[in-house]
Each structure stands twice: as structure tokens, then as C-alpha cells.
A and B are shown apart, each in its own frame.
Chain A
Amino acid sequence: MLGFGAVRLRTDMNRLLSLLFHQGVLDEQFLQLQHLQDQTSPNFVSDVVTIYFQESEKQLRNLRNLLLDREIWDYVKLGIHLNQLMGSSSSIGAKRMRNICAVFRAAVEQSNRPACIRALEVLEHEYCYLKNKLHELFQMEQQSVLGDAVRYPGVVHQL
């Protein structure tokens, strides 16, 4: 990897990030997350996000099951799951996820099943989108870290 490749990687990452910010997919909280990452925990962000995805997947599954169960309308459980998803989403700065959760919760409170199902679909879609994008981002980050590691001595001299 050459120097300009690394630069391009950085640029791409920034571009992707700013796109996500611009779309409202992410908010400042994500930046905070990034800044919490340091030498002691170099993979902090990706660790957190990975856990987030695991948890969220579980929650989405639960939500779907709860919604598809036509017999029982357990809005308490729905609310709990949603709250958890909302809390964790806002913790990693997944703004759009959080907003959709809020809409979802409103629908739950109104006992509006069709609206809930719609919200769930949107939520799942959003979840996939976020996952893909963040995956992309981490991949790039990984590459650039690798690149940094490889070029480290040379770069110093060049600069």
C-alpha cells in the first residue's frame, strides 16, 4: 500500500461517515464513541457496534415474534424491547434507528398493529442498512490500520 492509498482510504471513510451523518443515520454520539477509543482498547468502536448488532438482531427477532403472534398483544414486552433497542441505538449514535423506534413505540402505545408491522419493517430495513454501512466503514478502518502498521516507519520519514 502506498501513501496515497491510505489517504484515499481516510478520505473514503470520512466521506462515508459524512454521508451517514448527512442522511441522519448517525449522530454525534458515534463520534464520541470513536473518541473513546484509544490505545488501551483499539477496537472499542467495532466491539461495541458488534455487540450492538448481536443484541439488536435478537431484539428484532423478538419484536417480530411478538408482532406476529396474533393471539396476544403484549405491548408491555414490545415496549421493553423497543426501549432497549432505542437506548442502545442512541448509545452508539444510530440516530435513525432511534427515531424509528420512537415511531414504533408510539404505534405500540396506540395499539396500532398495522403501523407496528410497518415500523418493524422499516426498522429491519434500517438495521440492515446501518449494518452494511458500518461494516464497510470498519473494513476500511481495518485496512487503513493495517496500512498504517505497514508503512509506519516510512511515513514518518516522508513527513
Chain B
Amino acid sequence: MEDDNAADMEVEVLSSMWPEDIDAAGKKFNVEKPGADQDLLEDVTIIEEPTIVDFKRLLELTNYSEKGSSQLSYLVKNWEWKQENAVRLLREELENLSKQQREVELKKLEILEEHKFEDEGYGGDKRPISILDDVYEIVPDVPKRRNDVIYQDQRIEIDGEDDTDSVRYWKQRALNLEKLLELSINREQILLEKLEESIEKLEKQSSPVEELSQILKRADNFLHFVLQNAPVVIGHQDKELRYRFIYNHFPSLGEEDIIGKTDVEIFKGGGVKESQDFKREVLEKGLPGKREITFETELFGAKTFLIYVEPVFSKAGETIGVNYMGMEITDQVKRREKMARLREEIAVQKARETELNKTIHITEETMRAKQMLATMSHEIRSPLSGVVSMAEILSTTKLDKDQKQLLSVMLSSGDLVLQLINDILDLSKVESGVMKLEATKFRPREVIKHVLQTAAASLKKMLILEGHVSDDVPIEVIGDVLRIRQILTNLISNAVKFTHEGKVKIKLHVIADPCSEDQQKIKMDTDESESNETVVWIRCDVQDTGIGIPETALPSLFKKYMQAGADTARKYGGTGLGLAICKQLVELMGGSLTVSSKEHCGSTFTFILPHKVPHACESSDETDEFKDMDDNESTEDDDNCGFFQFKPRTLGSLFSSNGSGRVPELTGNEIGFEKCNPENNNTNTNTKYAGVDHDRPFHNPCIQKNRPAKPIEPKVNSNGNSGGILGNVVEKSKSVIRPKILLVEDHVVNVMVAKRMMRQLNQDMDVVNNGVEAIRAVHRCDYGLVLMDVCMPVMDGLQATRLIRSYEKTGNWDEARLAGVELSGDQKIKEPRRRIPIIAMTANAMSESAEECFANGMDSFITKPVTLQNLKQCLEQYLPSNGTLFKDNFIPK
């Protein structure tokens, strides 16, 4: 019976698509009883297409796999249970019936017994029959069973009063009983029939197949309903991973394309292999597993599936395939990845933020510290410069030896501190980007010469200072001459500091543009018409034969406050800021500063800087006068002479008591440069005078040529006094042997102060009140230096300077006369004259007014108020050998 059912089921029930779900039908499928509302799903149209089943395989599966058999057995059990129930009910019914039957039989027996008794009683009369007894006996007996019987009995008893009556009575009674019996037999018959009928019915009714298939159908429908739109793929694959069943709501392939094929055979692309491998792994291990796989196939693009694969075992415990379920989770994965990315980004952001905050904090601190340093330095500088300048003045008064020594220590320390503070201020200016570069025309040769000159002036060692400027360096370039000077001075003083014997050299030459290979020089030659300015890169080497720098110290050399070594600092002093400033300045100007060094042999600091070269035409336009005036002598000299050499003065400063303390021959040399030119000029223009220089005797004969007027000076001077000079009688005894200084200044107070200062500096000075008077004074007599106020009544300093320069160039005063200056006496045309240094004194310390000064032929300028310090500096620079020179020239005569 059971086997038959199972066989039936296989055929019909398994046409359902949900074999694996059925094993838990009772629990998982809470489906309503079929009868109740079968209409529930009628509205829902269920497309059954997506399911593709290999039925044969399914049969095999259910036959061989454990799950299949357990499923079947469950179905069977379920059916059996129902059957049993029905049987039990029938049995109960049957029992009831048989009970009744038994009772009826019992009754029948009783009746029969009664009859027997009647017969006995009938046979022998001896037995007393008490009606009452009888009644008594019967009454309790009968009524309990059947009421009607009792009635009959009673009636019968009442009826039977005598024998005949009693026989009749008994007969009647027997008849009655007969009838009753017949009735009960009838009843029994009916019951039996009924029983049989119901058994028959039962058999007919309980064909389990239909019922089960109905249940399954409903489950199937529900599942379809639920899964209708779910992005789920469900499948079964056999041992070789060929699809035997697949449910896919969004099928893109037909049945024939899938069934019997493996993943790899069906589609290609990323992830396919992986999923196949995963399935195989599950198959081999026999353990279910989940995995997320991203597919990248032509069929459905990039999608991520979460697949669940479980092995299917045969009854023998072998794996015979896998069940496979996949759910598309592309969006979730995307979202998840996005979240992860966001989280990561947030973390990074946060880290960066903290980092940034830290940096900001540090920067702020640094800025504050720097600002404070700068402010403090500034605050310190003013009083300190007061102290130092006062000490300087003090040193010019009469002091004994000890006092002088003390004072010199005081001065040098003061200077050091001042230098340090200036350095700090410079540095903070560069660093804060406040420092602005000026673009002015300057002559590199002149700059080199001046720097070396200045260095030589304060040289206290037996060193030779040399400057080589190669021919290709342009005569004029544009740059920030002050800063370049600062760099050079710094490097030179450094070199001098660390060199005890030998030479310190500056070499200047043009190099190719380090950035681009197309040579700037070529450009200069060819593209002149195109742009007014071309750029040359000039390389400057500052070479010494000093102690050198150990290699280990090179990296930190340009750092602030760093010196090559602790003992260096002790031995040589210095702040360690100089090179840092140089480097920063050079870099600010777009160049670079490098160093190479050999210990005990010397070091070379090299910097390269780009310079604009003014166009030839332009320069002639703009600085017409300037050029004209220069042409005759110093320009030529500086332009073409590429070699300078200086040797140290032996002792003392320029303004030591009588101003003649230096070694004549040395100073003679540097003046010699200026002097030689006229001669040079006369002979040839493009000279390499320098070439001769090396062995040239320092007493150059042309020195005498150069100052023809000097010896006559006293005479001229005496004439001059009658001119417009305000009560400025010069002590002739002194002025004879010194170049005189002319102060052109209109304001009494300024004149007083300046005169006083000059006296302190042991210099004599003539004073005139305006430009016209200045020209007259220059006309009358030869001055070594002119200090010219810029703003003056009658004629201002700029014009006066221009006229003086014109005179120097042409040798006549025509231009001055044209300008309305009356000059006493006629002047014969002289030889072109030496260029008098003219220093402007100006109240506006702005750079444009400085430019104006230079443009008008002034050599330098002092900002008002004139201090002892800058006056002295100025004299040192422009009147370097005043006293000695004349002595020199004079004494032989």
C-alpha cells in the first residue's frame, strides 16, 4: 500500500518545482487548508516559465538522494497518519456497534432464560408464585433496560390472573419478544451495511495523491508569488556542475542553453570561473558555504551576487551535486563600498585636519616668535646704534691708551651686536617676503672694485684681494646693486676672516642660462630689436686660500646660526647668519649659491644670478648725460678694465688723528686705477689695461698727470673765498695738503651741524648755499668731494650736478653759462677733468629720489639727517686716500 503511494507521488507530486522545500512542509509551509480559500491565489498570475527542470534528473534525485527519500517518506508518513486516523474512527464506530450487538444478545439470552423459567414453572406448580414477588423480581430487572418492556410486563402481569390467561399471556409475550429480536437483528443488519458502506467510502475518498498534489500546488503558487520579483536565482547542479534545475526570474537564456551545461559553458567573464571553483570546492568538501562574487559578464554586465551553495548527498553519503542560490546584491555592495570609502576618506580627512592644525599651530608660533625677534631686534637696534655711535665719537676724543683699548673692545662688540641685529632683520625681511628688490642699472666692474676697495680699507692681514671680470660681462646690467653688494661684501669678509695668507679673489664671467640651453648670449646678439632687455647669467666666484670647510660641515653651512664648528665660532666669532642671508638673497633674485671647499686649501663660494642687460639704444637715451660725462675717463676704465688688485693698508683707520697713517704705495694702487685712464683713453678705447696690471708698480706715473690742478689749489682757493661762500674761511695751512670738501646746503642749521661733524672728522669743508654757488666754487677750485643738498633755492642740486658733470666731460662751462650762472673770469678749455664724486643729501629717503640722483650723475646719496657715521663712511669710500695722496705727490716736489 505505502509503496504504491510513493510511486504515485513520484510521478505526480514531483512535477512541482520545489523538491527541496518539501522536506519541511509541515513546519515551513504554513499553508491554509486547501478547502478553505482556494481562490486566494486565483487573481495572481504566475508565470511559470522561469523554471526549467530536468525531470529525469529529478526522479533520480528523489530516488537516490537522501533528501529525496526523506521527502518521500515524509509524504508517506503524512498519508499514513491520516489513514490511521480514519481507521481509528471506523474502529471506534465498529466497537460501538459490536457493543450494542452484545447487549442485544445478552438481552436475548435473558429473555430465553426467562422463557425456560416459565417452562419450568409451567411444568411444576409447587413453586409458589407470589405476584408480588414476581413483580418484585421483574420490576427492578426490566425497567432498567427497557421501559416499554416493563410496561408490557406489568400489563401482562396484570392480565395473567389465571392459567389460561397466563398461557396466553406468555405466548403473547414470546411473540412480542420475537418481534423485538427481529427488530434488533434488522438494526444490526443496517449497521453492518453502514459500516461496510463507510469503509467503502473511506477507501474511495482517501486517495492521498490528489490531496498532496493540491498542497504542493498551493505551496508552489505561494512560492512563485513570493519570489515573483525577487532578484534570486535558485538552481541545482549535478556532480559535474551541470545545471539540472534553475529558477531565474529574469532569464536571459532559454532552457536548452542552461540545462546540462556548466557555468563556464554558459557565460564568460570575470567571476564565472570563481563561482564555478567555489561550487566545486563545496562539492568536494561536502560543506555548505556562502560567498560574494562579482560577475563581469557580457550577459548581464557587472553584478555582484551573494551565492549560497550546499552539497546534496546520496543515500550512501556521497555528494551527487549542489544546490545553489544566488541573490543579486550589487547595489548593496556598491553602497557598502561607498560607505567604506567615505569612512576611509573621513578618517584621512580627520588625520589631515589634525596634521594641519598642528602645522598651523607651529607656524603661528614660529611666526609669532619671528615677529617678536624682528620687533625686538628693531627695538634694540635704535638704542644700540646710539651707544655705538656715541662710543665712536668718544673714540675720537683725547683718551689714554687704556681707555682707547677699552673703547675699541666696546666698539667691536657693539658693532657685532649691531651686525647681528641687522642680519636678523634682513633675514626676517627676506623670509616674510617684505624685502623688495630694486632694479637699477649698475656696472659690475665698479661694484667689484668698490667692494674690494672697502674690504682692503679695513684689512688687517697681509692678504691680496683680486678681482677678475671677464670681457664678456656686460658693462652695464640691471639688478639690485645694493643686495648684490651686500652679498659680495658678506662673502668677501667671510673669505678674509678665514684666510690668513694668500689671496682672496672675485671672478666674474658670463655663463649659459642654466635653465634653458638656448644661449642667452645668442639671443642678445640676434634678438636685440625684439626686446629691449636680454638676460645674462653671471657667475661670480669668491675664492680664498683659507682654512677651508670640512666636508661634514658643508650641508649645514647655509643654515641659520650655524657655523662650520663650535671651535670655529669660538675662534673667529660671527653670528652664522651671513651665509644664510646671502643664500636667501641670491635665491630671492632668482639665482643660486653653492660652495666647494678643500680643507686647509681654501673655499670657493659661487653664485649665479640672472641680470637684465639694458639695450644699447635705451641706455644711451636715458642716461645721456651720465654716459657723456663718464665716457671720458672712469667709465672707460671701469668698463674695460677687468682686473683689480688691492693690498692691505698696514694699520689704523682712515680717520686716525692725522689721516695719513697708511702705506702710500698701497693706496696709490687703487687710485692708480682711476688715474690711469686718461692715458688709456688717449691711446686706445678697447683696452685691456688690466692685462698689465699684475706687475705694475704701484707708483704709477699717471697719478701726477691726473691731478694737474692740485698744486695750484691754494691760490684758487683764496680767490674762491671772495665768492658767495658764507664766512667759510678755510685754514690754508691744512687745506693745502687735503682734498677739500664742498658742502652745498642752504639751511643754516644743517650747515652748522655738518661743519661741526667735519671738524670732528678732521676734515675741512667749504660751504655754499645753492647750486649756482656750487658751480662757481667748483669752477674756482678743485674739490675732492661735493656733498650736495638736493632741494635748494636758485638752483637745485640735481641741476648743479648735471652742469658740473657736463663741465667734466667737455672741459668748459658753456652749459652752465647757458643755464644762467655767471662765472668770473674767462676759462680756457682745460683737459677733460677728473670726475668729482658728488654725494646727494636728501630728506626723502625714497628709492625713486635715489634713482633721480643717480640719473643726474650723482655717485651716492646720504639720507638726512647726516650722521657722523654715514658721513665718515662716505668719506672713506669716496675720499679714500685724500691726505696721503697729496702728501705723496707733494713731498717729492
Contacts and interface: CB of A to CB of B under 8 A. Distances in A.
B789 A87 contact: yes
A86 B841 CA distance: 13
Contacts of B793: 80
Contacts of A91: 747, 749-750, 753, 864-866
Given A87-B789, A91-B864, A93-B865, A28 B750 contact: no
B746 interface: yes
B750 A88 contact: yes
Contacts of B15: none
Interface string B748-765: 111011001100100000
Interface string B737-781: 000000000111110110011001000000000000000000000
Nearest to B393: A35
B306 interface: no
A79 B793 CA distance: 11
* Most chain B C-beta atoms within 10 Å of own C-beta, residue among A33, A48, A88, A90: A88
Nearest to A38: B397
Given A28-B385, A87-B843, A35 B390 contact: yes
A55 B864 contact: no
B867 interface: yes
Interface residues of B, number: 27
Interface string A51-69: 1100100000000000000
A91 B867 CA distance: 9
Contacts of A7: none
Given A35-B393, A44-B756, A90 B864 contact: yes
Contact of B864 (A28, A35, A51, A87): A87
Nearest to A49: B749
A132 B393 CA distance: 29
A84 B746 contact: yes
B748 A55 contact: yes
A79 B789 CA distance: 15
B753 A83 contact: no
Given A28-B385, A36-B760, A91-B865, A52 B749 contact: yes
A31 interface: yes
A31 B865 contact: no
Interface residues of B, dominant DSSP: helix
Interface in B818-860: 843
B386 A28 contact: yes
B868 interface: yes
A146 B359 CA distance: 65
Interface string A75-114: 0000110011011101111000000000000000000000
A83 B397 CA distance: 34
A10 B561 CA distance: 42
B756 A55 contact: no
Contacts of B866: 91
B382 interface: yes
A44 B493 CA distance: 39
Interface in B462-487: none
Given A28-B389, A32-B389, A80-B791, A87 B397 contact: no
B386 A88 contact: no
Contact of B791 (A32, A36, A83, A93): A83
A137 B746 CA distance: 28
B397 A32 contact: no
Interface of B: 382, 385-386, 389-390, 393-394, 397, 746-750, 752-753, 756-757, 760, 789, 791, 793, 843, 864-868
9 contacts: A28-B382, A28-B385, A32-B865, A36-B393, A44-B752, A48-B749, A51-B748, A87-B791, A92-B749
Q: A-B pairs with the 9 shortest C-beta distances?
A: A88-B749, A90-B865, A83-B791, A29-B865, A36-B756, A52-B749, A91-B750, A35-B393, A88-B747
